[in-house]
Chains A and B, each alone.
Chain A
C-alpha cells in the first residue's frame, strides 16, 4: 500500500452504523466483492452503485458505530474505496479497518471544508490531507499500523511474522 492516497470523495453524515454499512443477513460472506454488492443497500437511493467511482469516503462523527462486524470494513474495500476520513470512528470499526487493510484517518477539520466530488490527497505517513492548495493535519499513522496496512491487513501481517519465525536459521 502506498502512503499516498488520492481520489474523489463521497460524503456521509454522523453515526453511520455498521448495520447500514453491511446488513447482518450478509455476514455469511467474507469476500469483498460479494459484500460490496450489498453495502449501504438499506439506504436505497441508488446505493451501493452510486459509490462506484469514488475512492475516498468522508464522514462525520462515530463512523462505523454499532456491531463489531468486521465485514463493514471489508464491504467498503470491495466498493473500491481506498480510505475513510471521518471526524471520529467507533473503536470496533477503527480496529477492524486496520486489521482488514483499509486506511482510516481522523480529521474533523476536513469535514466541513469539503464537498462531495472534491478531489483530495492523503499522505498517511506525514499525517496531511490536501485539497488543492489547502492543507489539513491529521494524526500520522504509527509505523506499526502502517506495516499492517502495507501488507493488506492483520492476517497477512501475522502470516509474514510466522514465516519469519519458521525460516529463522536454526543453530
Chain B
C-alpha cells in the first residue's frame, strides 16, 4: 500500500520502513524552531538540569514577536535567548532585525523538502509550502527535543484538496483558504495532514503556497503540503545545493481519507468576520463595514508579493483619512526588496506607516485597538481581543481587499480598483 507525504516523512525520521495513520512514532526532527519563546525553553532546560543539546545545528532561533524589546521584561527575556544561543553555539540565530521566523528560515535555506520541523508556533505548517512537514509544539516540548533530539508523534491521516481552474482577478490564495476554512470549519481537518494537488497548483507561486499552508492551520491541520515542483526548485536554487535535499512525494496508490475538489474560478474575495476564522463571508455581504485600522502583516500575508499586490491598488491613491494603515514587512529581505523596487515608497505615499519587520500587530506588538475599533488584517487570526480591547473587532482578508478597504475607509471589493 502506498504512503502519503506525511507518512513517508514520519517513517524516514523515525527509522521505519513504513508507518500507518494512528501509529505513534519517536521522530527526530531536522530543525527545531523557537522564536520569542526561546527563553522559556531555556529556563525549562535549566530546571531539568540538562547541560548539553542533542545537536546545536538542528536549532534555529529567531526573535520575531515583540521586537525590538518593548519593556525591560522583554529585554531581559531576549537577553536570555541571545546568551543561550551563544553559550550553545547555535549558528542559526537571528536577532530582532531579521523578521518573522517562518519567512526568515525559508529565505535562509534552512527549510528543505522532506524535512521534519517542529517549533514554538502553530503556523509551522507553512514549511509545507516547500514540501517539509512543519508542526507546532509548546516551549517545554521544544526544550525536550533540544535535549533528546526526538518527540513522539502520531501519524496523521491525509486529506487531498484538489484545485482546478484559475483565480479570477482580485481573488488570491488567501480567499481560497478563507473559503476552505469557512466550509470545513476550525476543526475540519483536526489532526490531519493536507496535500494540495490539481491543475492549478503549478501556477501558484511559492508565496501563495506559503499563505495556503499557513492558513491550513486554521482548519486544525497537523501539517499541510504543496508537493515540490519547478517553482519550489526555483525558490530553493540560490538557497540550497540541489544535492542537499530529496523531495518526498506521495505514492500513486497512497490512501486519502477524503478528497475535496475546489474550482478556483468560482471563488470570490472572502472575509473572515469576528471572532473566529471560520466565520467567513463573501465580500459582498460585509462590504461597507467601517474600519479604523488596516494591518498588512503576519506570516500569512506580508511577503513581497503581498506588498506588491497592495501597492498595485494603492499606487497614485490615498488611504481614507479615518484609517490607519500599518504595513509590517515579513522580513528584512522583503523590506529591502520593497525598498529597492519602489513598493515601499508607493505604500508610504498612500498614507501607510511602515514598521520594522516581524510579527508586529498580529502578536499585539503595536497597533493595538481601542474599545469599539475595527481592524481589517491580512493575518491569520481574528480572535477576541487578539489585537487589543475585548470590545474591538478584527476582520481578515487578502492584501488586495485590505488595500481597497484602506482607500474607502470600509471593507471594499478589490475588483472595484482593478481593470
On A, residues with C-beta under 8 Å from B are 15, 17, 19-20, 23-25, 27-28, 30, 41-44, 61-62, 65-70, 73, 88, 90-92, 95-96, 99-100, 153-155, 158-159, 162-163
Contact = CB atoms under 8 A, between A and B. Distances in A.
A31 to B, nearest CB: 11
A158 B186 CA distance: 33
Contact of B143 (A73, A155, A162): A155
B276 A70 contact: no
A30 B40 contact: yes
Contact of B140 (A90, A99, A162): A99
B44 A155 contact: yes
B138 A68 contact: yes
Counting chain B CB atoms within 10 Å of each CB, which of A68, A95, A99, A158 scores highest?
Answer: A68
Main secondary structure of the interface of B (DSSP, over half): loop
A95 B141 contact: yes
A83 B384 CA distance: 24
B49 interface: yes
A73 to B, nearest CB: 8
Given A41-B390, A68-B137, A70-B141, 6 more contacts: A42-B390, A65-B186, A68-B136, A88-B187, A91-B222, A154-B140
Contacts of B44: 155
Nearest to B387: A24
Contacts of B77: 28
A170 to B, nearest CB: 18
Contact of B141 (A43, A99, A159): A99
B364 interface: yes
A68 B122 CA distance: 5
A30 B143 CA distance: 14
B48 interface: yes
Closest 3 CB pairs of A and B: A70-B138, A68-B136, A42-B385
A162 B278 contact: no
Contact of B187 (A15, A23, A41, A68): A15
A100 B37 CA distance: 16
Contact of B383 (A27, A66, A91, A96): A66
A61 B187 contact: yes
A162 B48 contact: yes
Contact of B139 (A19, A23, A24, A70): A70
Nearest to B139: A70
A86 to B, nearest CB: 11
12 contacts: A19-B381, A19-B385, A20-B384, A23-B385, A27-B37, A28-B74, A67-B121, A88-B190, A92-B122, A95-B137, A95-B138, A99-B138
B138 A162 contact: no
B397 interface: no
A115 B124 CA distance: 37
Interface string B353-373: 000000000011000000000
Interface string B126-144: 0000000000111111011
A25 to B, nearest CB: 5
Contacts of B190: 62, 88, 90-91
B360 to A, nearest CB: 12
A43 B186 CA distance: 20
Interface of B: 37, 40, 43-44, 47-50, 73-74, 77, 120-122, 136-141, 143-144, 147-148, 186-187, 190-191, 220, 222, 276, 278, 363-364, 381, 383-386, 390
Nearest to A73: B138
B372 to A, nearest CB: 14
Contacts of A20: 383-385
Given A19-B386, A28-B73, A158-B50, A67 B40 contact: no
Contact of A162 (B43, B50, B122, B385): B50
A71 B141 CA distance: 13
B332 to A, nearest CB: 23
Contacts of B138: 68-70, 73, 92, 95-96, 99-100
Contacts of A44: 390
Contact of B147 (A27, A42, A91, A158): A158
A163 B50 CA distance: 10
A30 B49 CA distance: 18
A161 to B, nearest CB: 9
A104 to B, nearest CB: 13
B48 A155 contact: yes
A103 B384 CA distance: 26
A17 B383 contact: yes
A154 B74 contact: no
Kindly name the residue among B140, B190, B385 whose own CB sees the greatest number of chain A CB atoms within 10 A: B140
B383 A92 contact: no
Tell which of B49, B120, B383, B384 has the most Cβ of chain A within 10 Å: B383
A147 B57 CA distance: 31
B140 A100 contact: yes
A62 B47 contact: no
B140 A159 contact: no
A90 to B, nearest CB: 6
A91 B186 CA distance: 12
A163 B47 CA distance: 12
B140 A70 contact: yes
A91 B187 CA distance: 10
A158 B144 contact: yes
A28 B278 CA distance: 29
Contact of B363 (A24, A30, A158, A159): A24
